[in-house]
Structure 1
């Protein structure tokens, strides 16, 4: 993939830009296998490949410049806006929306936030696209001061961007390196974005986590479903379940499925999806994954974990190692923390693994491993 922004030195976010895709893929696969080699993965399946460009469903863009000439992209080393509206890894839907958003900034007179002087209002725009082409647009502001003007001109925005199903304002008053704040104001009738993934409908709320690459997320969930059916668990947990992607995809493999997630907002979305699908045997609850496991009276036959980059940590790994769970399905965006966690669970052997190229043009990957409890040694006579 070729990118003018990268070639000109304006943006270096995609560290592998310009490297032929087969070479990117081979390098990532080689690194993953080397990282997990000490753990003895029995079977590496072929990597799941992605389209090279236009793969992102979410664009997190910094707004700079001025009201009259806003930039949508990133900031340079001096805190000045660098416009990246034609970013090649963003979807066509994103790229079509950016000029409309830029014009709206001027129409609603939303002053871009200036990092060096700590003045202004609009810090970021976050744009998420569903497989159906609908959009969720979020304006991240320093305060609620521009909200009345955004509401006043919202009709203009929706007329020119009819695919915008959800529009919100997020308030981030602090001057800090954060993408969003805790307060969210929904400006449209709809507050969720429907994501049709395989045969499952997921509902994203403004601050819900979802995989960045919808096509690869779909493949990841299909693989999890296949592996779950192969081990045929009676009971399953989906820890760090988010909006329920894994739990809802393995619902046909287990008679009882429980999903746990710290975000109450994500749990509300997961419950909505389960209710719409008539899956009464799939239940969700808001809570900490480790605390839930440690407090449980017994373990399920299958535990699915999809933690953030830091991994599941020593406490949960120790619980899994000592538990009666027969299988663990671990999906990770950080092979290093995955390897560390697996090393802490020696009785759970890696039966098969697969790399999913969730982030082409970068060094990041998603790796999923199916662990199986080793048979206990025979008693000594």
Structure 2
């Protein structure tokens, strides 16, 4: 058997295994990655890739960071799980850290789950609890969310996700959620005293890295406070320094009633959290919500170590500065396929002039670069917060090649004569 045949056979083998053994919710996998270090990934054939997706804003310290590895090993050798009938030092330490970083104050409280969807499920229940009167009647039956928002794929969070094509196969949805355009005018028209909560993402990541309009969060805080509704901010993709602030809402100078976090806080370890502020902290009572694995000592120890390293290494500021640098580098490419960049810090959407994002992703992978198509016209970048000049220079070279590959293909298609169809 030749080397080519052997390589082909190896690839066919893992793809066959995936097709046979994995549920087909994610479609065909693009590669089989076996190792990572920093911003590099290696596949089963030993080929190296530059990772500028970061597990979709998850691997905040990059792959196999010594702080992450040590935290996992040390806590796993000490205590991994005890259930939420008991407290553990890592759980208490992480709760205090999240309260401090979010500015939740003494009245703040933290609920731990295992994912962003679980954090948003808890937030959904928080909104429902707020909507109940003291006698148990549903005095605030309305929950507001934004069109094209994404808050998760579980049945509760899917009801909050403003994408009809995702909802339709699983209808009917959990009732009570209404979707608005992302304008202050639409929010003013919809808000009344029957609204329990407004859910928003500061930047709509899955919609193509689309920031809310300037002044939206400030207006949302004023309107929800005036009408007694909760303002719940989904920071799952934007939190943990991703946008150049610890949390994106902090740039607006407001205090929400709750935020949800996950992804980057664990640096690759599955963990999510709901952080409540002020009176919203009193809504949950014993037995009203829970999670077997939520807040386990292993996950909380790792997340606390990751956040400590982000703080120690100055990665909040690095995300801000490197984000500016990346956007400048993309603009300097002068590609006719690039319209501009959206986002903040190291959550960047590269807007394309044509709906060729999947082709750009495929070309990038051919050249050894991992990026993501948030939609047909947007490339999403969410690299590790640790990147520097070396990684950005390599990204610029590889991304330029990927864009050129797609541009050449488009020119070739345009120059190829269309076969005449007989009358």
The alignment's TM-score, normalised by the length of structure 1, stands at 0.37
Higher helix share: 2
The alignment's TM-score, normalised by the length of structure 2, stands at 0.34
- Larger RCO (CA under 8 A, 6+ residues apart): 2
Higher strand share: 1
